[in-house]
């Protein structure tokens, strides 16, 4: 039986990535060009610089992805590209490139929602994973709790009302002098501290999140006492935001009687969050899934995986496809 090969293209922020994935589950290549070193000196991603960098490297990355997968453009069945959400200029580089490839090769074009791509990253790590399940997407730009009913049917149960959790990590890191990117640095420093500082935890009747209050509390504590123990502050922040995540996931599991928790997005690499969800899964007698580290952050393999399920569901785009920086999941 012929395998379906999807080329995935991801350029929503500061990673330029192209991947070849077989049948939505097997990664043949996943080339990622990170711009972290470029943006470090600015303390965060500069959209104009990100767009320029995507333009400079994307064609070379495409050739490298094909070479590593040992396939040609003729072998590809469809081209999947991140349509949104993300930085509009960065998204346009990937969308324009995908449209050009589709036009030249005659291959079908498939639009992919970046958040749905994060969910699909787990399909590449766990062959046995199938919907339905509850998924928590935690990244630099997103915090969503989603009921994944099928490969193409998503119900948003809750989301952040202000900062994404990854954004809060970055801002806390900047305040305590750790630099960018903040998530891994807060995680590492927190291991040297104790969560002995009381921080405000926001609860809602529904399954929404809020991280601005806790972020502001950390900033105020640091300004009030510049000599405060930074490791303890990071450990306390990390513990508090994890408690907020755990509380809402537990509610969702009780409501939907799910036996699977799926965690996705860049913040899912955080060691304390993983440990906490492992303990939750053990307590509840259910399974928890996380993507392998390379599939947590932005990458094209997850876009190709999500694109595969869109493609076999008959979802195709035409050459009028445009980037949508505020694209919602399920749209």
pLDDT at 132: 97
Q: How confident is the model at residue 23 (pLDDT cuts 50, 70, 90)?
A: very high
How many CA within 13 A on the CB side of residue 258?
A: 24
Asked which of 76-90, 172-186, 245-259 is least confident by mean pLDDT, the reply is 172-186
* Band of pLDDT at residue 280, cut at 50, 70 and 90: very high
Domains of the chain, first to last: 5-119+295-312 (3.30.420.40), 131-291 (3.30.420.40)
From 164, 162, 9, select the one nearest 83 (Cα to Cα): 9
Residues 191, 228: Cα–Cα separation, whole Å: 16
Q: Which residues does residue 261 pair with via DSSP β-bridges, in sequence order?
A: 134, 288
Question: Does residue 42 carry a pLDDT above 90?
Answer: no
pLDDT digits (tens, 9 = 90+) for 182-206: 889 999 999 999 999 999 999 899 9
3-state SS string over the chain?
CCCCEEEEEECCCCEEEEEEEECCCEEEEEEEEECHHHHHCCCCCCHHHHHHHHHHHHHHHHHHHHHHHCCCHHHCCEEEEEEECCCHHHHHHHHHHHHHHHHHHCCCEEEEEHHHHHHHHHHHHCCCCCCCEEEEEECCCCEEEEEEEECCEEEEEEEECCCCHHHHHHHHHHHCCCCCCHHHHHHHHHCCCCCCCCCCCCCCCCCCECCHHHHHHHHHHHHHCCCCCHHHHHHHHHHHHHHHHHHHHHHHHHHHCCCEEEEECHHHHCHHHHHHHHHHHHHHCCEEECCCHHHCCCCHHHHHHHHHHHHHCCCCECCCCCCCCCCCCCC
Q: Does residue 107 register a pLDDT over 80?
A: yes
Looking at residue 320, what is its pLDDT? 97
Angle CA(77)–CA(81)–CA(83) in degrees, nearest 5?
145
Binned at pLDDT 50, 70 and 90, residue 14 comes out as: confident
The answer to whether residue 330 scores a pLDDT higher than 80 is no
Is the pLDDT score of 331 beyond 80?
Answer: no
Q: What is the pLDDT of residue 31?
A: 97
Query: What's the pLDDT tens digit per position in 207-258?
Result: 999 999 999 999 999 999 999 999 999 999 999 999 999 999 999 999 999 9
Q: What is the pLDDT of residue 277?
A: 97
- Separation of alpha carbons 124 and 27, rounded Å: 7
**Confidence at residue 2, expressed as pLDDT on a 0 to 100 scale:** 81
Q: What percent of the chain has pLDDT over 70?
A: 100
Distance set, CA 323 to CA 11, 17, 62, 84 (Å): 11, 17, 20, 6
């Amino acid at each position: 039986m012929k395998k379906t090969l999807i080329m995935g293209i991801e350029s929503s922020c500061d990673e330029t990535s192209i991947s070849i994935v077989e049948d939505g589950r097997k990664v043949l290549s996943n080339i990622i060009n990170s711009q972290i070193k470029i943006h470090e000196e600015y303390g965060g991603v500069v959209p104009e610089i990100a767009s320029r960098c995507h333009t400079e490297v994307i064609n070379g990355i495409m050739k490298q992805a094909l070479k590593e997968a040992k396939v040609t453009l003729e072998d590809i069945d469809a081209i999947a590209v991140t349509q949104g959400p993300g930085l509009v200029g960065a998204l346009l580089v990937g969308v324009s490139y995908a449209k050009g490839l589709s036009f030249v090769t005659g291959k079908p074009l498939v639009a992919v929602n970046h958040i749905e791509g994060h969910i699909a990253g787990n399909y590449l790590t766990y062959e046995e994973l199938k919907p339905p399940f509850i998924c928590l997407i935690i990244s630099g730009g997103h915090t969503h709790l989603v009921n994944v009913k099928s490969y193409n049917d998503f119900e948003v149960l809750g989301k952040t009302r202000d900062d994404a959790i990854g954004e809060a990590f970055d801002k806390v890191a900047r305040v305590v002098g750790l630099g960018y990117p903040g998530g891994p640095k807060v995680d590492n420093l927190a291991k040297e501290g104790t969560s002995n500082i009381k921080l405000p935890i926001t609860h809602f009747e529904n399954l929404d999140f809020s991280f601005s209050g806790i972020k502001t509390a950390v900033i105020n504590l640091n300004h009030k006492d510049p000599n405060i123990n930074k490791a303890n502050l990071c450990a306390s922040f990390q513990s508090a935001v994890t408690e907020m995540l755990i509380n809402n996931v537990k509610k969702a599991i009780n409501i939907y009687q799910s036996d699977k928790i799926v965690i996705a997005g860049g913040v899912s690499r955080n060691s304390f969050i993983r440990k906490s969800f492992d303990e939750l899964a053990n307590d509840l007698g259910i399974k928890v899934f996380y993507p392998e580290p390379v599939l947590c952050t932005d990458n094209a393999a997850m876009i190709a995986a999500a694109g595969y399920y869109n493609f076999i569901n008959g979802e195709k785009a035409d050459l009028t496809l445009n980037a949508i920086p505020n694209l919602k999941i399920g749209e």
